[in-house]
Structure 1
Amino acid sequence: MGIFSWISDWASAITEAAQEQQNKEAQHLQYMTAAAGVGSVQLRCHQDTWNYFLREFQKHSYNAASFRRPAEAAIVREDDGMIVVPLSGSTVAALLDRCNGMSRRTEPLDHAMGVRVYEAIATVLRKIEPAGEQKIPLPPITLDDRPGTPATESAQSS
């Protein structure tokens, strides 16, 4: 393999990586736009997960103004530590954007939380049909991978 072949391969790899990053950024913008159009959606997660994100928005001010914590009375508490939190579209967009940034962090917990929560939100946003005539509620954004949970069963059947 000559030097020119190596340079050509290297340039191709860089071009591919740049294109992949550009595609991810375009997809993220589409998700952000979809989230901004959401009237409301339920987030079902463990109380600790919700608290993690509340602290995350307190620690880092970037887009924190768009994250609106719902009234405590609006949060439904379940027996096993799980909660159901109503979120507005702007709050979903802020959470999605924060998760996108977290997924780039080197801290393993932040990275994992960012990736997992981003995908859970994106899964629901992919079900949106803009300007649709049907007023079908969105399924909840569910963070519960335990066997036998509604989110796990629906993922296994699709």
Structure 2
Amino acid sequence: MNLFERFSKVEREAARAVRAEHKKKEREARDERQERLDKAAGVASVEVVCHADTWDFVRTKAPRFEGRPFSFFSGTGDRLDPEPDADGLVHITLSGPNLVKLLDWMWSASQSTDPVERALAKRIYNGAAAVVDTVDPSVQPGLALPPIVIDDRVPPPA
């Protein structure tokens, strides 16, 4: 008796249904991610506010080209190494194309097997995604996007 014959027709159909559902969810997630990237591409600019260490993590995830950091991580001055404010937070202005890159790189890093890298990348990706998801390309003219703030805090006492 081969392996295929060991399972009943009902069991095989159930397994097919589970695989089909899994593929459907993967397709939906891929489509949602692409829609988010498409929205981000149309953004003129958005401010990212995070701790300097968080921004350093983002910079380490940027692909390198000919030994140099790629695109918005290249250059000098405030764009590369912004000065932290009194709370230790940095403020970085990203263009839409650079926001697309940030989302893409953080999504890729969130698939890491390293739990620390995965946690940081997921938090940054989810923070950026929450802002990008508010974009409505059909609204002209629209309001500026709120900043992407990666700074979770506890609520003040009641």
CA contact (8 A) 1:76 1:85 kept: no
The farther-off stretch of 36-45 and 124-133 is: 124-133
Paired AA for residue 29 in structure 1: Q
Deviations 1:9-29 (A, max 9, x none): 111111111110100100111
TM-score, normalised relative to structure 1: 0.81
- 1:28-54 deviation digits (Å, cap 9, x = unpaired): 110111111111000010000000111
Equivalent pairs counted in the alignment come to 145
Correspondence for 2:20 = 15
Partner of 1:152: none
> Which structure carries more relative contact order (alpha carbon 8 Å, separation 6+)?
2
1:108 to 91, 110, 115: 115
Query: Match for residue 132 of structure 2?
Result: 125
Q: What are structure 2's unaligned runs of at least 5 residues?
A: 1-6
Percent identity (aligned)? 25
TM-score normalized with structure 2 length: 0.81
**Once superposed, what is the RMSD of the aligned Cα atoms?**
2.3
1:70-81 → structure 2 map (5 Å cutoff):
72-73=77-78, 75=82, 77-81=84-88
Gaps of 5+ in 1: 150-158
Post-superposition, which runs of at least 4 consecutive aligned residues in structure 1 deviate over 4 A? 58-61
Which of 37, 40, 46 aligns to 1:41? It is: 46
Give 1 or 2 for the bigger CA radius of gyration.
Answer: 2
Aligned partner of residue 77 in structure 1, secondary structure: coil
